Amino acid sequence: MTDPDDTEASLIAERARTSELIESMSARLASVIEATADTASDDEHDPEGTTLAVERGQLVAQLERSRVRLEEIDAALERLGRGAYGRCETCGEEIGAERLEVLPAARQCVRCAAKNSSRRW
């Protein structure tokens, strides 16, 4: 397993990036909402591309995913603090270093995650 100090620094940096992204998207969403409040706005016939309603919907979805990501990072930091980081919450086995490198906030090993995803279908 990697050095806990390195892991913590990496998670904190990822948290900061995610928080900045949320802030940026929130500002963009506010400007889109403000633009849609303009009754003279006729974006349905805008040849420039997507409508403001579509953009608003995309921003809302991206914000939700980013907020969930922030919660996942906070949970990973909490697990790190209590010494449970890197252990599968389902089977208790160690989560592989490769998986943690790709998904630092992973809660499950690949095997358990695959089992859970197959149950959804």
Is 43 found in the same domain as 94? no
Is 97 found in the same domain as 78? no
pTM for the model stands at: 0.80
Question: Where do the H-state alpha helices sit in the chain?
Answer: 4-37, 52-81, 97-102, 110-119
Q: What pLDDT is attached to residue 121?
A: 46
Residues 6+ positions from 108 with CB-CB distance below 8 Å: 88, 89, 90, 91, 95, 116
Is 93 found in the same domain as 78? no
Residues 6+ positions from 110 with CB-CB distance below 8 Å: 96, 99
Determine the Cα–Cα distance for residues 25 and 33; give it in Å rounded to an integer: 12
**Are 85 and 9 spatial neighbours (Cβ–Cβ below 8 Å)?**
no
Q: What is the mean pLDDT of each run of 10 residues along the chain (121 residues)?
A: 83 97 96 76 56 90 97 97 95 95 94 81 46
Tell me how far the alpha carbon of residue 59 is from its chain's centroid: 13
Instruction: Residue 59: give the domain boundaries.
Output: 1-85
Is 16 found in the same domain as 30? yes
Is 97 found in the same domain as 57? no
The tokens for 56 are 């608003």
Q: What pLDDT is attached to residue 34?
A: 87
Q: At what angle do helices 4-37 and 52-81 cross, to 10 degrees?
A: 160
Determine the Cα–Cα distance for residues 91 and 102; give it in Å rounded to an integer: 20
Q: What pLDDT is attached to residue 4?
A: 81
